[in-house]
A and B are shown apart, each in its own frame.
Chain A
């Protein structure tokens, strides 16, 4: 409720201000307008802004969820009162609802705003609930309507706020001081001024013989390769600098079928970009294709993969003619069909079989830092999930070892003591989600995991010597 301190400032100076409607309760003892209302308002706001209790919401980045909700909460009050006093109330009425929507979209406690606005109306303006309802029912109802999208949002998370909020939070009384503890940690971290944030260079997995599909893109997404050099391009745009946008991206490619597929894809780039029709592909100088066809070809250019990937063609003029025919067929193929077979060749991060990806993920989750590792994966949600699963799996094995539990011989019972101990350890030391634990340990629905772990904590099991020792031993 820390944010509610904010509108205390509203409540104090307001009642005596300018309630002019004779039906209002406060009119009788309408005090003179206090000359220093602005200063009083400012003092309250300043006290609130600088109060140390806000430190967590401001400094601990993700706690922005609190302050963002608080901002919208205050805006709801502000717009509501402007709507009441303005000669043109409609824009303010719309803004009130938008602010309230913003609040519930930032954090679920925004749901209390319509109730508090109604209570405020009753207490300081209308005098009774009945009167507040009679005079402003539609405005109050429109605010309450923001509960519908909120319900949809919460439903979209499976009614499970990941243990962050809700009725089954799974926190023992000793842990409910969490906010204060985090606040304390925040200060500690500030004091040591960790240098990690200054280092964020992209790390790439590199090994002998690795294949990459390297992608770059021109500024403004313009085609750079249609005959204009960088200098001319810049002169044309009246700009200086690099024609390429940021750093290049490199996708790992498995030698063999996947590499052949990437080669076909690259050979067809000019066709997709509508630079040339497929029958004139050999005229495109910026591709390896014209060099593959002629003999002698450069020694570094290898033809085997391309030919094998298009059906085991021979390295002869006839074979290459067949290859061009093959490309013509592939050019007709829809993007959907290709994606269905090989995934998206310019997106994601690794192209190849499941084993190949698993192997890379293993390397990735052990050899690079967490931040850079995830950076490498780009926006591929599936790969992120795979890496996280791999990390959780490793943590789980480590946890099982630390607790002396045989992972392969877990009891079938969903609430088996071994399973609960493992789950409690994992939730305490890793960012594991309940859905993963429920699935991996066969503990039923994700919500059940929360329940078991909560009970485990309430029974004080997490405070036992053996559990604490295991906590220290586990590698995440």
Chain B
């Protein structure tokens, strides 16, 4: 059914870009109204009461939060690092935390989509 190999390749590139755009827009539309949602439950010990995310420059502290500073983050350096990034952006305002959460989710969606089209040849 394809007209010619080259036009099919060009078409499929546009299909990929279009699909990615739809996925990003759909996720933004679905979550656009969640940005003012406050900190709740475990957010309090892990973010508001967590002194180890306050200095992004102090990587040792950020990556090894130790025990007792927000039980959700201890032993999870990537999580604590991402929180420190948000703290550096907006302090204790929620917007950057929600923005990064959504970005992570969108990237995961795109990776999921990309993985599907990825062929194996051993």
**B-contacting residues of A (Cβ < 8 Å)?**
6-7, 9-10, 12-14, 17-21, 23-24, 35, 37-42, 44-46, 48-50, 54, 57-62, 64-65, 67-68, 70-72, 74-75, 77-78, 81-82, 84-85, 102, 105-108, 124-126, 135, 153-154, 156-158, 160-164, 182, 185-186, 189-190, 193-194, 196-198, 200, 370-371, 374-375, 377-381, 384-385, 388, 431, 433, 435
- What mask results when residues 16 to 43 of chain B are scored 1 for a CB within 8 Å of chain A, else 0? 1001001100110011011011111111
Query: Are B101's CB and A58's CB within 8 A?
Result: yes
Q: CA of A77 to CA of B114 in the docked complex: distance in angstroms?
A: 10
**A-contacting residues of B (Cβ < 8 Å)?**
1-2, 12, 15-16, 19, 22-23, 26-27, 30-31, 33-34, 36-49, 51-52, 54-55, 64, 66-69, 71-79, 82-83, 91-94, 97-98, 100-102, 104-122
Q: CA of A82 to CA of B121 in the docked complex: distance in angstroms?
A: 10
Query: Are A189's CB and B75's CB within 8 A?
Result: no
Query: Are A62's CB and B75's CB within 8 A?
Result: no
- Choose one: A45, A85, A164; the contact of B119 (CB below 8 Å): A85
A9-B108 contact, Cβ under 8 Å, with A60-B40, A200-B93: no
- Choose one: B37, B73, B104, B113; the contact of A67 (CB below 8 Å): B104
Query: Are A71's CB and B113's CB within 8 A?
Result: no
Query: Are B74's CB and A157's CB within 8 A?
Result: yes
Residues of A within 8 Å of B97, CB to CB, are 61, 64
A-B contact pairs, 9 of them (CB 8 A): A41-B115, A44-B113, A45-B113, A61-B97, A156-B64, A197-B38, A370-B44, A378-B51, A435-B67
Which residue from chain A places its CB closest to the CB of B64 in the assembled complex?
Answer: A156
Residues of B within 8 Å of A78, CB to CB, are 111, 114-115, 118
Query: Are A105's CB and B23's CB within 8 A?
Result: no
- Choose one: B1, B40, B100; the contact of A64 (CB below 8 Å): B100
Query: Are A164's CB and B71's CB within 8 A?
Result: yes
- Choose one: B67, B91, B119; the contact of A18 (CB below 8 Å): B119
Query: Are A64's CB and B101's CB within 8 A?
Result: yes
Q: CA of A38 to CA of B48 in the docked complex: distance in angstroms?
A: 43
Query: Are B109's CB and A68's CB within 8 A?
Result: no
Q: CA of A156 to CA of B80 in the docked complex: distance in angstroms?
A: 14
For the complex formed, measure the closest distance between the CB of B32 and the CB atoms of chain A, giving whole angstroms: 12
A45-B116 contact, Cβ under 8 Å, with A50-B27, A197-B39: yes
A61-B120 contact, Cβ under 8 Å, with A45-B112, A67-B101, A161-B71: no
Query: Are A380's CB and B51's CB within 8 A?
Result: yes
For the complex formed, measure the closest distance between the CB of A248 and the CB atoms of chain B, giving whole angstroms: 16
A153-B51 contact, Cβ under 8 Å, with A41-B117, A125-B122: no
Query: Are B117's CB and A431's CB within 8 A?
Result: no
Query: Are B79's CB and A13's CB within 8 A?
Result: no
Query: Are B41's CB and A182's CB within 8 A?
Result: yes
Query: Are A84's CB and B121's CB within 8 A?
Result: yes
A17-B75 contact, Cβ under 8 Å, with A45-B113, A186-B40, A380-B51: no
- Choose one: B38, B51, B52, B75; the contact of A194 (CB below 8 Å): B38
